[in-house]
Amino acid sequence: MTRHFDSDLVSVQQARDLVTAAKEAMRSFQYTAQTDVDRICRAMVDAAMKNAARLGQMAHDETGFGFAEHKRLKNEFAAQGCWDAIKDVQTCGVLRHDTAKRIIEVGYPVGVVAALAPSTNPTSTAIFKILISVKARDGIVIAPHPTAIRSTSEAVRVMVEAGEAAGMPHGLVSCMTEISLAGTNELMRHPEVSLILATGGPGMVTAAHSCGKPAIGVGPGNNPCYVDRSADVRRAAEMIVESKSFDCSTICATEQSVLADAPIAEELKACMQAAGAYWLSAEQAEAVTAGMFRSNGLMHAKFVGRTPQQIAGQVGIEVPSDARILVAPLTEIGKQHPISQEKLTTLLGFTTVDGWREGCEKASELLKFGAGHSVSVHATDEEVVMAFALQKPAFRMMVNTWGSLGAVGFTTGLTPSFTLAPGGVGGAVISDNVSVEHLFNVKRIAYHLNDAPAAARAYGGRVDGELPGLSAGFDVSSIDDIVSRVLRELARQ
Report the C-alpha gap between 148 and 56 in whole angstroms.
12
Q: Do domains 8-218+434-442 and 224-409 have the same CATH topology?
A: no
Q: Which residues contact 357 (CB under 8 A, 6 or more apart)?
A: none
Q: How far is CA 481 from CA 93, 97, 487, in A?
A: 10, 13, 10
Task: Give the pLDDT score at 1.
Answer: 46
**Number of alpha carbons in the 13 Å side-chain half-sphere of residue 192:** 18
Q: How far apart are CA 245 and CA 372, in angstroms?
A: 23
Among candidate residues 41, 175, 248, 252, the one labeled active-site is: 252
Residue type, 124: S
DSSP H/E element including 15? helix 7-29
Q: Counting every residue, how long is the chain?
A: 493
What pLDDT shows up at residue 153? Answer: 98
Contact predicate 300/293, CB 8 Å? yes
CATH class of 224-409: alpha beta
pTM: 0.90
* pLDDT computed for residue 424 by the predictor: 85
CA distance 392 to 394: 5
DSSP 168: P
SS3 400: coil
CATH topology of domain 8-218+434-442: Aldehyde Dehydrogenase; Chain A, domain 1 (3.40.605)
Low-confidence ranges of the chain (pLDDT < 50): 1, 465, 467
Predicted local confidence at residue 6, as pLDDT? 83
pLDDT at 460: 52
Q: What are phi and psi of 414, to 5 degrees?
A: -65, 155
Cβ atoms of 189 and 181 within 8 Å: the answer is no
Distance CA 471, CA 103 (A): 13
* Residue 374 near residue 398 (C-beta atoms within 8 A): yes
Per-residue pLDDT of 399-422, as tens digits, reads 999 999 999 999 999 999 999 998
Which residues on neighbouring strands pair with residue 109, listed in sequence order?
440
Q: What is the pLDDT of residue 469?
A: 53
* CA-based nearest residue to 128, from 41, 54, 236: 41
Run of H or E including 257:
strand 255-261
Provide φ and ψ at 193, rounded to 5°.
-85, 130
* Extents of the domains making up the chain: 8-218+434-442, 224-409
360 is catalytic: no
